[in-house]
């Protein structure tokens, strides 16, 4: 057989591609549940971190129901669903494309040592890719109890510092600015509202600005609801 | 029959020639320090030791299996599309690695992120397919794949060792520089932040090349 004839070349290419496609597709389907479980666990771990609980990713699954008492879907200041899985499964990457007043967003209510906390998911843009996080508010709905941030591909040593304790711990005890309902991430020493400012990352200005915009944008969707409590 | 056994005897599984396939890329023909291939990934994922080790294992898997697959079908591949066939096979193997990492070592897969996908563009892999697997038997190709992957991985791990130790003061995530040494705690030491940036990997690779050539003088090119 002439392996260099046109017919053989086409045939070989077709068989190879179909074979590879079948192998990859079945592998992806088989591994999907494991991958999904990892993503879910990580999300639960991050939610718990925002109220100061440092748990392993594997323990997060078991601890989650102990602390998170209810999960709501909020839209335009009203609770539209109390179904926990509906709230948990909201894709923030899609949600932030909708105007805050029309956006359906999840709200997690947590209880820890007798205190009640509201946990709000955040999602926005950094310098190289998405940034995200969770911010927890005390029961008055305006004092920040904790915050945690993650990022896909910010520069190590610069923008990536947003997910370090040094940056995240600054949020604790701050009060949301009344006018804009947000916490400002500002250049070191350039803040105007000592109670609502945190220092950005030096050398990571664009990432810091991204976090600033993310907090303002995401929190504004909760403003009408949190003002009623 | 007797000739067949004779041939087999003269060419055992671990004959001198086959052993050389593994040992050669380790030193005399190292893919990074001698052939200067695969530099891009050596820069990108050597900030910490753990991703470097995972990368080395992943490349070993892709290169060894890929070499065997290519070698098995080497007489069936139409010459005109052989590069595309090689690409399809590397890409498929890389996707398998990526999916398995995501499912079972999630943290590592997050750190490696896009670099797993970039194994596809690692010149070492296409280079070995084209230069070796297309012309040799599966077993030899397997040995060649392992050999080159080890040669690549060793350099990766050496670079990552120095970058993590000097840049973060830790190894495999464990702090090895005592806390009390740091200036923040009244000591005299500070991590070298420059080590965290890619250019430093090039400098470390350069130093390794220098050290290797100083020991192995036959690698030194004639200066005309």
Report CA-CA distances (Å) from B185 to A112, A165, B176, B195. 33, 17, 15, 22
In a domain, A1, yes or no: no
Q: Where are the beta strands (DSSP E) in chain B?
A: 170-171, 174-175
Q: Give yes or no for A9 touching B (CB within 8 A).
A: yes
Rg (chain B; Cα; Å)? 20
Non-local CB neighbours of B117 within 8 Å, separated by 6+ positions: B94, B98
Asked if A16's CB is within 8 angstroms of B106's CB, the reply is no
Number of domains in chain A: 1
Of A17, A57, A157, the CB nearest to B88: A17
Phi, then psi, of B114 in degrees rounded to 5: -70, -15
| pLDDT of B35 over the 90 cut | no
Residue B2's pLDDT band (cuts 50, 70, 90): very low
> CA B158 to CA B26: how far, in whole Å?
13
Residue B124's pLDDT band (cuts 50, 70, 90): confident
In a domain, A97, yes or no: yes
Q: Give yes or no for A56 touching B (CB within 8 A).
A: no
Q: Give yes or no for A42 touching B (CB within 8 A).
A: yes
Q: Give yes or no for A114 touching B (CB within 8 A).
A: no
Quote the mean pLDDT of chain B: 82
Question: What's residue A113's pLDDT?
Answer: 86
> In B, which residues are within 8 Å of A8 by CB distance?
78
Q: Give yes or no for A26 touching B (CB within 8 A).
A: no
| pLDDT of A158 over the 60 cut | yes
> CA A106 to CA A100: how far, in whole Å?
13
Of B75, B92, B102, the CB nearest to A24: B92
pLDDT single digits (tens) B104-119: 888 778 777 667 877 8
Residue A117's pLDDT band (cuts 50, 70, 90): very high
> CA A85 to CA A76: how far, in whole Å?
20
Asked if A3's CB is within 8 angstroms of B78's CB, the reply is yes
Quick one: CA dihedral A132, B100, B64, B75, positive or negative? negative
Distance from CA of B86 to the nearest CA of A (A): 11
Asked if B197's CB is within 8 angstroms of A57's CB, the reply is no
- Interface list for chain B against chain A, based on CB atoms closer than 8 Å: 47, 75-81, 84-85, 88-89, 92, 95-96, 99-100, 102-104, 106-107, 113-114, 193, 196-197
> In A, which residues are within 8 Å of B100 by CB distance?
31
3-state secondary structure at position A83: coil
Quote the mean pLDDT of chain A: 89
| pLDDT of A184 over the 80 cut | yes
**Residues 126-185, chain A: which have Cβ within 8 Å of B?**
152-153, 156-157
In a domain, A11, yes or no: no
Which of B83, B103, B109, B116 should we substitute to test contact with A (largest number of A Cβ atoms within 10 Å)?
A: B103
Distance from CA of B103 to the nearest CA of A (A): 4
Q: Give yes or no for A10 touching B (CB within 8 A).
A: no
pLDDT single digits (tens) B139-151: 999 999 999 999 8
Question: What's residue B113's pLDDT?
Answer: 65
| pLDDT of B1 over the 60 cut | no
Distance from CA of A161 to the nearest CA of B (A): 13
> In A, which residues are within 8 Å of B103 by CB distance?
31, 34-35, 38
| pLDDT of A170 over the 80 cut | yes
Report CA-CA distances (Å) from B45 to A68, A142, B134. 37, 41, 30
Question: What's residue B11's pLDDT?
Answer: 62
In a domain, A92, yes or no: yes
Question: What's residue B6's pLDDT?
Answer: 45
Is the confidence metric ipTM above 0.85 for this complex?
Answer: no
> CA B209 to CA B78: how far, in whole Å?
39
Question: What's residue A107's pLDDT?
Answer: 92
| pLDDT of B5 over the 70 cut | no
Q: Give yes or no for A2 touching B (CB within 8 A).
A: no
Q: What is the mean pLDDT of residues B208-212?
A: 88
CB of B158 closer than 8 Å to CB of B208:
yes
Structural domain range at position A154: 67-226
Residue B4's pLDDT band (cuts 50, 70, 90): very low
DSSP per-residue string spanning B143-168: HHHHHHHHHHHHHHHHHHHHHHHHHH
Of A8, A34, A156, the CB nearest to B78: A8
In a domain, A191, yes or no: yes
Which of A38, A153, A161 should we substitute to test contact with B (largest number of B Cβ atoms within 10 Å)?
A: A38
Asked if A4's CB is within 8 angstroms of B79's CB, the reply is yes
In a domain, A217, yes or no: yes
Of B96, B106, B197, the CB nearest to A38: B106
Question: What's residue A81's pLDDT?
Answer: 86
Distance from CA of A16 to the nearest CA of B (A): 8
In a domain, A56, yes or no: no
Q: Which residue has 């995240």 as its token pair?
A: A168
Which of B77, B80, B106 should we substitute to test contact with A (largest number of A Cβ atoms within 10 Å)?
A: B106
Asked if A12's CB is within 8 angstroms of B77's CB, the reply is yes
Q: What is the mean pLDDT of residues A202-207?
A: 87
Non-local CB neighbours of B48 within 8 Å, separated by 6+ positions: B111, B160, B163, B164, B168, B173
> In B, which residues are within 8 Å of A23 by CB distance?
92
């Amino acid at each position: 057989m002439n392996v260099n004839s046109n017919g053989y070349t086409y045939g070989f290419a077709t068989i190879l591609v179909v074979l590879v496609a079948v192998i990859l597709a079945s592998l992806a389907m088989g591994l999907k549940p494991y991958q999904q479980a990892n993503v879910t666990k990580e999300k639960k771990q991050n939610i718990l971190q925002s109220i100061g609980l440092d748990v392993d990713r594997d323990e997060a699954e078991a601890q989650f129901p102990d602390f998170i008492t209810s999960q709501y879907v909020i839209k335009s200041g009203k609770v539209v669903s109390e179904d926990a899985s509906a709230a948990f499964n909201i894709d923030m990457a899609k949600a932030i494309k909708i105007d805050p007043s029309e956006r359906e967003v999840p709200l997690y209510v947590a209880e820890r040592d007798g205190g009640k906390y509201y946990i709000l998911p955040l999602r926005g843009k950094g310098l190289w890719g998405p940034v995200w996080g969770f911010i927890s508010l005390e029961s008055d709905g305006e004092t920040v109890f904790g915050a945690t941030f993650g990022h896909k591909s910010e520069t190590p040593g610069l923008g990536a510092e947003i997910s370090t304790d040094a940056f995240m711990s600054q949020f604790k005890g701050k009060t949301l600015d009344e006018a804009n309902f947000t916490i400002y991430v500002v250049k070191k020493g350039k803040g105007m509202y000592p109670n609502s400012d945190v220092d950005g990352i030096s050398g990571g200005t664009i990432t810091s600005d991204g976090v600033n915009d993310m907090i303002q944008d995401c929190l504004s969707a909760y403003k009408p609801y949190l003002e009623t409590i | 029959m007797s000739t067949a056994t004779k041939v087999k005897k003269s060419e055992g599984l671990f004959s001198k020639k086959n052993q050389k396939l593994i040992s050669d890329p380790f030193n005399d023909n190292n893919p990074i320090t001698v052939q200067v291939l695969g530099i891009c990934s050596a820069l990108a994922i050597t900030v910490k030791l753990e991703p470097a080790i995972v990368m080395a294992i992943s490349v070993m898997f892709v290169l060894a299996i890929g070499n065997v697959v290519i070698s098995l079908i080497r007489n069936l591949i139409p010459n005109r599309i052989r590069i595309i066939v090689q690409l399809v096979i590397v890409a498929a193997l890389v996707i398998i690695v990526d999916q398995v990492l995501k499912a079972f070592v999630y943290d590592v897969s997050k750190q490696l992120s896009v670099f797993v996908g970039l194994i596809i563009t690692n010149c070492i892999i296409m280079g070995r397919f084209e230069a070796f697997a297309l012309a040799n038997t599966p077993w030899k190709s397997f040995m060649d794949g392992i050999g080159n992957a080890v040669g690549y991985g060793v350099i990766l791990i050496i670079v990552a060792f120095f970058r993590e130790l000097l840049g973060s003061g830790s190894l495999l995530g464990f702090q090895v520089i005592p806390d009390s040494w740091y200036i923040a705690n009244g000591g005299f030491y500070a991590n070298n932040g420059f080590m965290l940036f890619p250019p430093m990997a090039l400098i470390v690779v350069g130093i390794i090349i220098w050290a290797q050539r100083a020991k192995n003088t036959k690698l030194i090119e004639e200066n005309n």
